[in-house]
């Protein structure tokens, strides 16, 4: 069913904007008048732009994407409405009115219409798989089957917020060191390519033998000044080639393996993968999703081929009658403590709870390691910049000291 955007006046004469789903523009006007809203302008959101202005609006709407945080907020609001006893269609209708982001508002309106036509919420969400992940759709399907959709949605909101918080802390911790790295690099580049040549030109005109550090500094300065574009071109080509290789199966495999083994960052990457594995699998099991199906969903969101292969092997062995802990114990990427906690969960019948504890443990470890790494990176960067600046200063002062000795 088409979705229309409208500008209208309410009973008090106040201008209101929103969207409404109807078979036609006439039906949309009648539907709004029935709600005591008097439309001034109505246009179909999916209609093609007919002029330059509308085309610009369409492009700007496309650029405004749906953020994961907005989905989490909408999920929490829907859970609250359902928990308060509001029917699903009415809850979706109220949710559409609260959403500000136009693309998300349109998507939720289409989902509401699909549910209103008799489809399940999971089916309606699956028609927008680019926005809602497999874990989201499957957990909603399990919630509908068990009659606890509000609880599942609340758990989905928690899951999304936890993952965003962990990712946000990681990005925030690295933001300052990365910023300082680029600023320091630009300052050193300016110093070597513009300031140093003006000073070292005096040494060249004296036609005397220069110390080795000064010769090295002049050579580096001349190279950067003449071929800086070549360095940028090589860096750009390297990034493009690496990104292309990563898209190939073999390249992705090598990249994922490096990301797990690289010093310092590898340990953090492994713990983030284990935290995501535990949190997601525990949430799926707690929502009533069978173990095999849950593992097949998890393997698609761990974002690592190596771990995905381990999960695939575990699925095959579980289907053959083996336990999850026994299957994962054969992999080097799942530490003994994780395997042991999963084993205890399987024996006690509280596997989802143990998986949640595994996720909590590794999320805390990731956060503490990120903080420690950030605290270590800052002095290391300052030390490196100090050494480079010190080398530049010494390289400039050495010829001056030699000239003073010759004058004496």
Confidence of residue 342 (pLDDT cuts 50, 70, 90): very high
* Angle, vertex CA 66, rays to CA 304 and CA 98, nearest 5: 135
Considering only residues 351 and 160, tell me which one the structure prediction assigns the higher pLDDT.
Answer: 351
pLDDT of residue 344: 93
Terminal-residue alpha carbon distance, the chain:
94
- Residue 77 in contact with residue 96, Cβ under 8 Å? no
Give the torsion through C-alpha atoms of 303, 129, 72, 274, to 10 deg: -20
**pLDDT at residue 18 is higher than 80:** no
pLDDT of residue 315: 92
Average pLDDT over residues 190-196: 82
pLDDT of residue 53: 40
Q: Give φ, ψ of 5 to 5 degrees.
A: -95, 140
Confidence of residue 2 (pLDDT cuts 50, 70, 90): low
HSE-CB for 106 with a 13 A CA cutoff: 18
pLDDT digits (tens, 9 = 90+) for 352-391: 899 989 988 998 888 888 778 777 877 888 888 888 888 8
Spell out the long-range contacts of 24-31 with Cβ–Cβ below 8 A and sequence spacing 24 or more.
28/4
pLDDT of residue 1: 57
pLDDT digits (tens, 9 = 90+) for 304-319: 889 989 999 999 999 9
Burial of 388 (0-12, 13-18, 19+ CB in 10 A): middle
**pLDDT at residue 59 is higher than 60:** no
**pLDDT at residue 332 is higher than 60:** yes
pLDDT of residue 150: 86
Q: Which of 320, 316, 306, 318 lies closest to 277, judged by CA?
A: 306
pLDDT of residue 63: 40
Confidence of residue 55 (pLDDT cuts 50, 70, 90): very low
pLDDT of residue 57: 39
**pLDDT at residue 237 is higher than 90:** yes
pLDDT of residue 56: 39
Q: What are the tokens at 47?
A: 């209609």
Query: CA–CA separation, 327 vs 273, rounded Å?
Result: 18
Query: CA–CA separation, 123 vs 110, rounded Å?
Result: 12
* Range scoring the smallest mean pLDDT among 191-200, 269-278, 337-346: 191-200
pLDDT digits (tens, 9 = 90+) for 100-152: 888 888 888 889 888 888 888 989 998 888 888 877 887 888 788 777 888 88
Q: Give φ, ψ of 36 to 5 degrees.
A: 60, 40
Residue boundaries of the structural domains of the chain: 3-63, 68-132, 149-408
**pLDDT at residue 60 is higher than 80:** no
**Strand 38-44 with 15-21, pairing:** unpaired
DSSP for residue 7: E
Per CATH, the number for 149-408 is 1.20.81.30
pLDDT of residue 62: 42
Q: Which of 365, 349, 356, 274 lies closest to 311, judged by CA?
A: 274
Question: pTM of the entire structure?
Answer: 0.65
Strand partners, 3: 21
* Angle, vertex CA 104, rays to CA 4 and CA 303, nearest 5: 150
Average pLDDT over residues 252-259: 87
Length in residues, the chain: 408
Query: CA–CA separation, 313 vs 319, rounded Å?
Result: 10
Highest mean pLDDT among 51-65, 154-168, 333-347: 333-347
44: three-class secondary structure by DSSP: strand
pLDDT of residue 52: 38
Confidence of residue 48 (pLDDT cuts 50, 70, 90): very low
């Amino acid at each position: 069913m088409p979705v229309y955007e409208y500008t209208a006046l309410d009973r008090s004469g106040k201008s209101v904007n929103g969207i409404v789903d109807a078979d036609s523009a006439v039906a949309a006007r009648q539907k709004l008048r029935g709600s005591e809203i008097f439309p001034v302008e109505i246009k179909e959101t999916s209609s093609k732009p007919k002029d330059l202005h509308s085309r610009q609006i369409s492009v700007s709407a496309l650029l405004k994407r749906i953020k994961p945080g907005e989905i989490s907020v909408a999920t929490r609001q829907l859970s609250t409405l359902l928990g308060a006893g509001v029917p699903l269609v009415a809850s979706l209708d109220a949710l559409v009115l609260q959403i500000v982001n136009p693309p998300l508002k349109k998507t939720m309106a289409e989902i509401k219409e699909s549910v209103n036509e008799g489809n399940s919420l999971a089916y309606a969400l699956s028609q927008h798989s680019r926005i809602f992940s497999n874990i989201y759709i499957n957990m909603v399907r399990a919630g509908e089957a068990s009659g606890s959709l509000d609880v599942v949605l609340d758990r989905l909101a928690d899951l999304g917020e936890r993952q965003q918080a962990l990712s946000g802390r990681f990005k925030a911790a690295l933001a300052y060191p990365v910023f300082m790295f680029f600023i320091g690099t630009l300052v050193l580049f300016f110093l070597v390519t513009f300031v140093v040549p003006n000073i070292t030109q005096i040494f060249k005109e004296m036609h005397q033998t220069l110390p080795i550090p000064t010769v090295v500094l002049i050579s580096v300065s001349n190279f950067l000044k003449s071929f800086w574009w070549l360095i940028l071109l090589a860096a750009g080509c390297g990034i493009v080639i690496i990104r292309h290789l990563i898209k190939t199966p073999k390249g992705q495999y090598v990249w994922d393996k490096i990301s797990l083994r690289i010093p310092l960052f590898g340990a953090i990457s492994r713990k983030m993968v284990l935290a995501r594995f535990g949190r997601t699998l525990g949430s799926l099991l707690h929502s009533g999703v069978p173990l095999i199906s849950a593992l097949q969903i998890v393997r698609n969101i761990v974002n690592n081929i190596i771990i995905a292969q381990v999960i695939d092997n575990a699925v095959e062995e579980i289907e053959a009658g083996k336990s999850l802990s026994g299957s994962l114990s054969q992999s080097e990427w799942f530490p003994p403590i994780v395997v042991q906690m999963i084993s205890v969960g399987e024996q006690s019948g509280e596997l989802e709870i143990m998986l949640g504890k595994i996720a909590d443990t590794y999320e805390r470890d990731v956060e503490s390691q990120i903080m420690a790494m950030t605290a270590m990176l800052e002095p290391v960067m300052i030390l490196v910049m100090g050494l480079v600046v010190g080398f530049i200063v010494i390289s400039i002062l050495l010829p001056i000291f030699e000239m003073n000795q010759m004058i004496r």
